[in-house]
Amino acid sequence: MHKLNRREEEGFTLIELLVVIAIIGILASVVLGSLNAARTKGADAAIKANMSGLRSSLETYYDSTTGAQSYGVATSPMQGSKIGTGTGEACAVNVWADGTTKSGLQKAVDNAGGVAATIKVACANDATSYAVAVTLKSDITKSFCVDNSSNATVVSAIGTAAFSSTLPYKCN
């Protein structure tokens, strides 16, 4: 019979196991880093999709107003960290309070995530124009802005700086 040497009977050494564990750890950190970047890009894509859907809601609101077509009573430019009428909140009155509009805008703001105190949403309207912007998750110094003149674009500004503060409201 062939006699096995002592090394083959003992299995793996501690150093060999540690090297394998270190390699697995390095690979895992690379994969997790890539997944985080993909999640952020996915959140930005969701913001853009929600805002595009919001444009449809706003146009439906405009077409369905009784009497003259209108986006409703003028709302001065406002900004906040979330949708609502409380301190630090914005975009929950007039045309922005419409159920479908509010739901679409809330989804976009939820996708923006981030720090609660940061400006995530800004909006303004008068009877014939509107502009609304939501901060991107990937870069909180930029927003995705849509307006009634078919602009849907990433702007290098947040809050009410993302759109004109004079009539007609439009993305900068």
pLDDT 10s digits, 48-94: 999 999 998 899 889 887 667 889 888 899 999 999 888 889 998 88
Note whether residue 13 is domain-resident.
no
Average pLDDT over residues 22-42: 89
Question: Given this model, what pLDDT does residue 33 score?
Answer: 79
Note whether residue 93 is domain-resident.
yes
Note whether residue 14 is domain-resident.
no
Question: Given this model, what pLDDT does residue 44 score?
Answer: 94
Note whether residue 92 is domain-resident.
yes
- Whole-angstrom Cα distance, residue 118 to residue 79? 10
Query: Can you give the residue range of the structural domain that contains 128?
Result: 29-162
Note whether residue 1 is domain-resident.
no
Question: Given this model, what pLDDT does residue 66 score?
Answer: 65
Note whether residue 102 is domain-resident.
yes
Is residue 166 scored above 80 in pLDDT? yes
3-state secondary structure (DSSP) of residue 151: coil
Note whether residue 143 is domain-resident.
yes
Residue type at 99 in one-letter notation = G
- Whole-angstrom Cα distance, residue 61 to residue 133? 18
User: What pLDDT digit, counting tens, does each position of 105-158 carry?
Assistant: 999 999 888 777 788 999 999 999 999 999 999 998 999 999 999 899 999 999
3-state secondary structure (DSSP) of residue 13: coil
Closest by CA position to 132, among listed 142, 146, 150, 116:
146
Contact 85, 93 (CB under 8 A): yes
Note whether residue 113 is domain-resident.
yes
- Whole-angstrom Cα distance, residue 141 to residue 102? 24
For the record, the structure tokens of 149 come out as 């003149």
Question: Given this model, what pLDDT does residue 87 score?
Answer: 87
Beta-ladder partners of 78:
123
- Whole-angstrom Cα distance, residue 95 to residue 26? 51
Domains: count for the chain: 1
Q: For helices 99-112 and 14-64, what crossing angle results, to 10°?
A: 160
Question: Given this model, what pLDDT does residue 50 score?
Answer: 93
Cα distances (angstroms) measured from residue 28 to each of 17, 31, 33, 37, 157: 17, 5, 9, 15, 36
